[in-house]
Structure 1
């Protein structure tokens, strides 16, 4: 919705063309904006779905724009909804914080985890007992040994092969860890649903709606204070935290698949969407900065985007990430 207010976005260019020209068909709009006709047609139908433009008939079909005050009203409502969702996350985290601080009390549904090895063992058990899905908030710092990571990958592959759905929301730090990035890529190619968010508040693993393993303050205390959370209001709050953060994450799925882009370009798009600089992309993919700049320019052109952010949005919409 907010893209329509950005003069450089595809939605913004199409909407502004309609407000300036009045009724127009998609070919006239394409000529006015310089966008491909297919792109204009897709944008018009997307805007129609948001009730920001409407077809008025004719041959070829003409379109007209909704009044700008309506657009502003809808955009402000969307922003209010976004803020409300963020406040919801904050409220749930506040509840989580107070429950975690009181974990030393004899709650029947919260148990402390005394040793990191116990946490690793419980993580495996949670996956083995899952009947439908495993949800994960994955963020640094990491304390597991290489053989733990290999064992986890084998467990996940085996469980996914039996039909267990995995959804993992990674911290953006995944792009700074070559081994973790490679693991994420392999799991996504096998069917794990993956998203990335700039930062995550806690480490969290949830098995179905039956059990959660929580590390409340990983930056300050490491794995100390880790908790087992059984069915309770706290577990429901943790599930709510995951689902809300999931809606805010950037999809990164089928990274290695073939959807019209070479694997190297797909990797560049993925890193761009996460906010990586040209230098960081060049280091991660072992390319020269000049080659990265040239490939990014080509990708912007293919996606009809004028900024890196728009390229990330367009790539996600087209299923390229």
Structure 2
């Protein structure tokens, strides 16, 4: 829906052409936007599906921009509301857990970073069915510890333990972390990416969880071990809520030929990076990135970047 308002996108160009003219047919739209007749017809159909354009007896007309803007804002508000709801739920759960420390055996504080690393390994070693992970920066592990974690995860997946990891989009900003994620996906990890994650969280089966509620702080104040309880069930539910908001990533063999550059562009795009950020990361001009993204959206039949990420994952492009 956002592309309707972006003059750099096909949908945005066509919508502007309609908004600034009397009812138009496909040929006039194509001439005004520089698109082929086939592309103009396709984009008009997309705008109609989005409710941004209407075909009348006199030709195609644009819905009032204020209404289209309202639809865009409602969609964005719905997404933000879902994230805020998850964050508020998490905050409530965290404070409930802190109140329980000392009065119950369901919750324990984590003493230091060394203990946290040891507990993270123990949770994975003892899991028999699945590990669910919210992975976000900052990362305090050394390269050796990252390598050890990869080895442990590969071994546990080989033993039949399913890993579902929801990554913060910052994973794309670090070449080593991105490579690690890719290797884990190759090994069988089910991965998604979300623009932001509120906490670090590792859940082993339905028996235990490790929570770091304020990852940005230098110390581990507030880090908790949560054992099987109603509180743990609530954390599991929170993970599932955030999981539904993530963009799937896959390492499956692509069903069509896709260049490494295009695969990287669409992965970064789906993770929420702007055209400018992608251009800087790949050392390309913004114009080149915009042109490639437009072509990829056309191939995917997607109208938004999020849709493009989902479509690309489903087709095995990522």
* Residues 3 and 304, structure 2, Cα contact 8 Å, conserved in 1: no
* Alpha-carbon distance in 2 for matches of 1:311, 1:192: 26
Secondary structure of the equivalent of 2:102? coil
Q: Deviations over 1:121-173 (max 9, x none)?
A: 43334335546543222123333344432232123234445665433233344
Which residue of 156, 163, 167 maps to 1:166?
163
How far is 1:205 from its partner?
A: 1.1
* Residues 8 and 290, structure 2, Cα contact 8 Å, conserved in 1: no
What is the aligned-residue RMSD (CA, Å)? 4.1
Match in the other structure for 1:266 = 263
Matched residue pairs, number?
A: 303
* Alpha-carbon distance in 2 for matches of 1:247, 1:39: 32
Q: Deviations over 1:187-234 (max 9, x none)?
A: 233443434445433211123444321112232253454322234443
How far is 1:91 from its partner?
A: 1.4
Secondary structure of the equivalent of 2:79? helix
* Alpha-carbon distance in 2 for matches of 1:269, 1:41: 25
Secondary structure of the equivalent of 2:217? helix
Higher alpha-carbon deviation: 206-215 or 257-266: 257-266
* Alpha-carbon distance in 2 for matches of 1:279, 1:14: 25
Q: What TM-score, normalized to structure 1?
A: 0.71
Which residue of 181, 197, 209 maps to 1:184?
181
Residue 303 of structure 1 pairs with residue 293 of structure 2: yes
Residue 140 of structure 1 pairs with residue 153 of structure 2: no
Residue 293 of structure 1 pairs with residue 284 of structure 2: yes
* Alpha-carbon distance in 2 for matches of 1:243, 1:90: 13
- Residues 32, 280 of structure 1: alpha-carbon distance in 2 compared, 3 angstrom cutoff: closer
How far is 1:37 from its partner?
A: 5.5
* Residues 141 and 222, structure 1, Cα contact 8 Å, conserved in 2: no
Q: What TM-score, normalized to structure 2?
A: 0.72
Secondary structure of the equivalent of 1:301? helix
| Structure 2 gaps, min length 5 | 296-302
> 1:61-210 residue pairs with structure 2 within 5 A?
70-130=67-127, 133-161=130-158, 164-210=161-207
* Alpha-carbon distance in 2 for matches of 1:106, 1:39: 66
Residue 24 of structure 1 pairs with residue 25 of structure 2: yes
How far is 1:23 from its partner?
A: 5.9
Higher alpha-carbon deviation: 136-145 or 114-123: 114-123
* Alpha-carbon distance in 2 for matches of 1:36, 1:130: 56
- Residues 69, 274 of structure 1: alpha-carbon distance in 2 compared, 3 angstrom cutoff: closer
Q: Deviations over 1:98-140 (max 9, x none)?
A: 1343353323321233454443343334335546543222123
Match in the other structure for 1:11 = 11
- Residues 279, 64 of structure 1: alpha-carbon distance in 2 compared, 3 angstrom cutoff: closer
* Alpha-carbon distance in 1 for matches of 2:294, 2:265: 16
How far is 1:33 from its partner?
A: 2.3
* Residues 15 and 65, structure 1, Cα contact 8 Å, conserved in 2: yes
> 1:193-232 residue pairs with structure 2 within 5 A?
193-232=190-229
* Alpha-carbon distance in 1 for matches of 2:152, 2:40: 46
Secondary structure of the equivalent of 1:261? coil
- Residues 198, 84 of structure 1: alpha-carbon distance in 2 compared, 3 angstrom cutoff: closer
